[in-house]
Amino acid sequence: MLIGKSALVTGSTSGIGLGIARALAAQGCNVMLNGFGEAGAIERTRAVLEAENAVKVRYDGTDLTRPALVAKLVDATVEELGGIDILVNNAGIQHTAPVDDFPAEKWDAILATNLSAAFHSTRHALPHMKRRGWGRIVNTASVHGLVASVHKAAYVAAKHGLVGLTKVVALETAGSGITCNAVGPGWTRTELVEPQIAARAQALGVSVEEAARILLSEKQPSRQYVTVDQLGSVVVFLCSEAAAQITGVTLPVDGGWTAQ
C-alpha cells in the first residue's frame, strides 16, 4: 500500500512507535527510526526490519527536546530516504505526581518531548509534503488528549495540546493532499506504562499482573490492553487512500474508555 513512501517515526525504538514502524515497513514504506536505547539492540531491530520488508530503514538518535536538532532529523530523513511523506509524532515520556508536588523540570521535559517536538517536526516536514502534494501526519495523542486523570498534569496538558495542534494543521492543509490526524490509545502495555503498574502493585500489595488487571478495570471497559500491532494497523489506515478525507480527527483506540 505504501511502496515508495518514506516515513519518520519518532520514539520508535520500542513500544507503540516500534509497532507503528513495523506496520509501515510491512506496507513497503521506508522508515527512519528515532529514539533512545542500547545501540546494539537498535541496530538489530533496524537490520531485521530492513531485511524482512525489503525497504530502507535508518536510525537517528536525535534528542527531540532540541528544536534545531529536530530540523536536522527531518533533513536527514529526506536525504537518506529520498523524502518524507509520512510523519508520525509518537515520542513521549511520562511522570506522575500531584500538581503541587510536580517537579518543574519534569513539566518542562514532558512538554518539550510530547508537544513541542511535534510542532518542530511538523513545521519542517510540511514544506516537503507540500512540494509533493501528498502527506500524512499522525500524532500519538493518547486518550489523555481527550480526558484527564489525576497526577498527570504535564502529560494531559501536552496531549490536549497535541490534539489542538492536530486540528490546526488539518485546517491549514485541507484540500492539499496532506492530512493530519491523531490516535488516542487507551492502556497499552508498554515500557511507559509498566512503571505505573509496578507502583500500583506495590501500593496495593498485589502482584504486578493483578495490578495490571485493576488498572484496566478502572478505565477500560473492554478489560483488554490495546496492542502495538493494533495501533500500527490504525496508523497504516490513516496513511491510506481510504482515509484521504479524514483529517483533524483524534481516533480513540481505547476499549471504550472515552465512551463512558
The total of structural domains in the chain comes to 2
DSSP states of the chain: --TT-EEEETT-SSHHHHHHHHHHHHTT-EEEEE--S-HHHHHHHHHHHHHHHTS-EEEE---TT-HHHHHHHHHHHHHHHS---EEEE-------B-GGG--HHHHHHHHIIIIIHHHHHHHHHHHHHHHHT-EEEEEE--GGGTS--TTBHHHHHHHHHHHHHHHHHHHHHTTTTEEEEEEEE--B-STTTHHHHHHHHHHHT--HHHHHHHHHHHH-TT-SPBPHHHHHHHHHHHTSGGGTT--S-EEEESTTGGG-
155 is annotated as an active-site residue: yes
Q: What is the pTM of this model?
A: 0.94
169 and 217 assigned to the same domain: no
169 and 199 assigned to the same domain: no
Give me the CATH number covering residue 116.
3.40.50.720
pLDDT reported for residue 118: 98
176 and 54 assigned to the same domain: yes
Q: Which of 13, 14, 94, 155 is catalytic?
A: 155
234 and 128 assigned to the same domain: yes
208 and 80 assigned to the same domain: no
Render pLDDT for 172-230 as a digit per residue (tens, 0 to 9). 999 999 999 999 999 998 887 888 889 889 989 999 999 999 989 999 999 999 999 99
67 and 162 assigned to the same domain: yes
Structural domain includes residue 1: no
170 and 243 assigned to the same domain: yes
234 and 152 assigned to the same domain: yes
Q: Which of 24-38, 51-65, 210-224 has the lowest mean pLDDT?
A: 210-224
Domain that holds residue 213: 189-225
